[in-house]
């Protein structure tokens, strides 16, 4: 990939991750999402046109709870290993942030993924390859609207239809939509689709 292609791809990735964070309820400036490629290059690329991924790092807080913060970390390492994960963990500890997303240009080693599992009691860590974020999957015309229910909404849903959790259709943790919204086991998502007869109809799935 040439430097020009690299900056254009990172511009798309940067836009998608800001949209993802915003869709999860965190504060994101519209300027970050609507930034043109020219403005992106002017702000983040050097004279040679190469983007410094470290400059793309950012953290923000939830719109309804300032104490709920998330840090997005761009790694320039082609194969993310334990060393890079320790670097991310050090930043989270220093900033006292419990949630982190790491984005990388290539792959992640099995050892690095074990760090995510080993630290899940203290930190909520998620990982995305840049290729996963070139396009925002929720904007695809065939993808219906998804809305994550809060615990009270989930409770009301189960009571209203007299359902047990096990009776709800399922969505897997590894599903791209589940990953986009950062779903956790037991969370329910409302899916709204257009209907020829009633205008639209809603269905529900539980993450497992």
- How confident is the prediction along the chain (208 residues), in pLDDT tens digits per residue? 444 459 999 999 999 999 999 999 999 999 999 999 999 999 999 888 899 999 999 999 999 999 999 999 999 999 999 999 999 999 999 999 999 999 999 999 999 999 999 999 999 999 999 999 999 999 999 999 999 999 999 999 999 999 999 999 999 999 999 999 999 999 999 999 988 887 899 999 999 9
**What's the whole-model pTM score?**
0.93
List % helix, strand, coil for the chain (3-state, nearest 5).
40, 25, 35
Buried b (16+ CB within 10 A) or exposed e, 76-108: ebeebeeebbeebbeebeeeebbbbbbbbbeeb
Helix (H) or strand (E) holding 115: helix 110-118
Residue 175 per-residue DSSP state? S
Nearest to 6 by CA among 34, 35, 48: 48
d(CA 4, CA 37): 11
d(CA 201, CA 145): 11
The two structure tokens encoding residue 97: 């942030």
Side-chain-side CA neighbours of residue 62 (13 Å): 10
d(CA 35, CA 26): 18
């Amino acid at each position: 990939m040439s430097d020009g292609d690299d900056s254009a791809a990172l511009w798309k990735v940067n836009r998608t991750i800001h949209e993802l964070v915003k869709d999860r309820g965190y504060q994101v400036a519209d300027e970050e999402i609507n930034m043109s490629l020219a403005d992106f290059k002017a702000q983040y690329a050097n004279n040679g046109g190469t983007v410094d991924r470290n400059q793309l790092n950012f953290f923000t807080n939830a719109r309804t709870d300032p104490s709920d913060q998330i840090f997005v970390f761009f790694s320039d390492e082609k194969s993310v290993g334990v060393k890079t994960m320790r670097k991310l963990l050090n930043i989270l500890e220093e900033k006292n942030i419990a949630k982190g997303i790491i984005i990388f240009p290539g792959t992640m080693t099995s050892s690095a993924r074990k760090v995510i599992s080993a630290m899940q009691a203290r930190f909520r860590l998620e990982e995305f390859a840049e290729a996963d974020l070139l396009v925002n999957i929720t904007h695809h015309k065939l993808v219906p609207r998804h809305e994550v229910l809060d615990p009270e909404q989930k409770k009301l849903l189960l009571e209203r239809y007299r359902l047990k959790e096990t009776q709800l259709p399922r969505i897997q943790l590894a599903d791209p939509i589940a990953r986009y919204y950062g779903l956790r086991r037991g969370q329910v998502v409302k899916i709204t689709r257009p209907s020829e007869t009633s205008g639209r109809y809603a269905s529900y799935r539980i993450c497992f």
